């Protein structure tokens, strides 16, 4: 399990309200803004994503409440790296919420919970790439 | 309100349990590991911090439950930038949880909640710096 984060995902009740807050209220520019998710680049190789609660819970495969609705995501280079990271987390005592499997977005991923229940996603995501200057590209795949 | 994140803070029930999970279980190396907080560098200019629940709630100045216990933090260059960011967030409809003020860590900060209650901290923190290669230094101040 490498020591890095590429995604901060937060659950939202109403994507239109949240999109308005971040894109119009704060004036942020999305990297990708599609029907059911909005991504903002918030650092070198780092995305913040707004994800509707029910879609988020379906993706995790476990219930989420709005106020506990966040996860930290790590992108790895290959599918076996997802398996390896999850085995390491399991040995460390993590609760596996979703065993490694093909993901709805077209990649391969898994979720676990740390000792306090904070969620981590480890994903192989061929639609995600980072340029030398830290700029992220993300596209729909699959 | 700039479009970036330098801190991901998660609440922990028992810092020793969490420190063991991340530092020993996952094998991560802390940037700073002191009595009441542990920081890990998880990206270019990006820190993840483990913060005991009661200390975290005291810092925010509002109650936090363990499962809703996280905040995203932005570091700005000057105190007036904290004020400006918070005014922008207020105009955008954010609920200000803690008005801009001197912080226990020696800097100056404020917390607000986005439309779903997710917390953001905006801080001037003279103990935080990022080298050209993205390496973070953080030290206790004040």
Q: Domain total for chain B? A: 1
Chain A with chain B: Cβ pairs closer than 8 A:
135
Are B65 and A67 within 8 A, CB to CB?
yes
CA distance B112 to A39: 20
Long-range contacts of A101-108 (CB under 8 A, 24+ apart): A103/A59, A104/A58, A104/A59, A105/A140, A105/A141, A105/A142, A106/A140, A106/A141, A106/A142, A107/A141, A107/A142, A108/A79, A108/A82
Nearest-Cα residue of chain B relative to residue A24: B92
Residue B2 resides in a domain = no
- Tokens 């977005």 — which residue? A105
| pLDDT tens per residue, range A20-31 | 999 989 899 999
Residue A2 resides in a domain = no
**DSSP-derived pairing of the beta strands B46-52 and A70-76:** unpaired
| pLDDT tens per residue, range B43-99 | 999 999 999 988 888 888 877 777 677 889 999 999 999 999 999 999 998 999 899
- Answer yes or no: is pLDDT of B126 > 70: yes
CA A123 to chain centre: 8
Residue A1 resides in a domain = no
Report residue A7 as tokens. Answer: 């995604």
CA distance A142 to B109: 43
Please tell me the distance in Å from B102's CA to the nearest CA on chain A.
24
The pTM assigned to this predicted structure is: 0.86
pLDDT at A106 (0 to 100)? 87
The answer to ipTM > 0.95 is no
Please tell me the distance in Å from B22's CA to the nearest CA on chain A.
8
Residue B1 resides in a domain = no
pLDDT at B63 (0 to 100)? 76
Listed in sequence order, the residues at least 6 apart from A90 whose beta carbon sits closer than 8 Å to its beta carbon are A96, A112
CB A96 within 8 Å of CB A62? no
Its domain, for residue A57, covers 7-138
Instruction: Name the phi and psi angles at A55, rounded to 5.
Output: -65, -40
Listed in sequence order, the residues at least 6 apart from A41 whose beta carbon sits closer than 8 Å to its beta carbon are A31, A47, A48, A135, A136, B3
Residue B93 resides in a domain = yes
| pLDDT tens per residue, range A3-18 | 889 999 998 989 999 9
Residue B129 resides in a domain = yes
Q: In B, residues 114-133, which contact A (CB 8 Å cutoff)?
A: 114-118
CB B66 within 8 Å of CB A116? yes
Between the alpha carbon of residue B77 and those of residues B85, B107, B123, the distances in Å are 12, 11, 9
pLDDT at B65 (0 to 100)? 77
pLDDT at B59 (0 to 100)? 84
B117: alpha, beta or left, given left = phi > 0 and alpha = psi -120 to 50? left
Confidence tier at A67 by pLDDT (50, 70, 90): low
CATH code of the domain containing B27: 3.10.180.10
Residue A102 resides in a domain = yes
Mean pLDDT in residue range B12-32: 92
Report residue B81 as tokens. Answer: 């930038």
């Amino acid at each position: 399990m490498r020591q890095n984060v590429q995604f901060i995902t937060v659950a939202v009740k109403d994507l239109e309200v949240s999109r308005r807050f971040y894109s119009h209220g704060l004036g942020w520019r999305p990297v990708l803004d599609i029907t059911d998710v909005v991504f903002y680049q918030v650092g070198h190789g780092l995305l913040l994503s707004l994800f509707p609660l029910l879609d988020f819970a379906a993706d995790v495969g476990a219930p989420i409440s709005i106020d506990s609705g966040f996860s930290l995501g790590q992108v790895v280079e290959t599918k076996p790296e997802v398996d390896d990271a999850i085995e390491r987390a399991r040995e460390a005592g993590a609760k596996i919420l979703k065993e490694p499997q093909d993901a709805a977005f077209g990649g391969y991923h898994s979720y676990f919970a740390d000792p306090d229940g904070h969620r981590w996603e480890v994903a192989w995501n061929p639609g995600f790439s980072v340029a030398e200057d830290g700029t992220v590209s993300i596209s729909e795949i699959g």
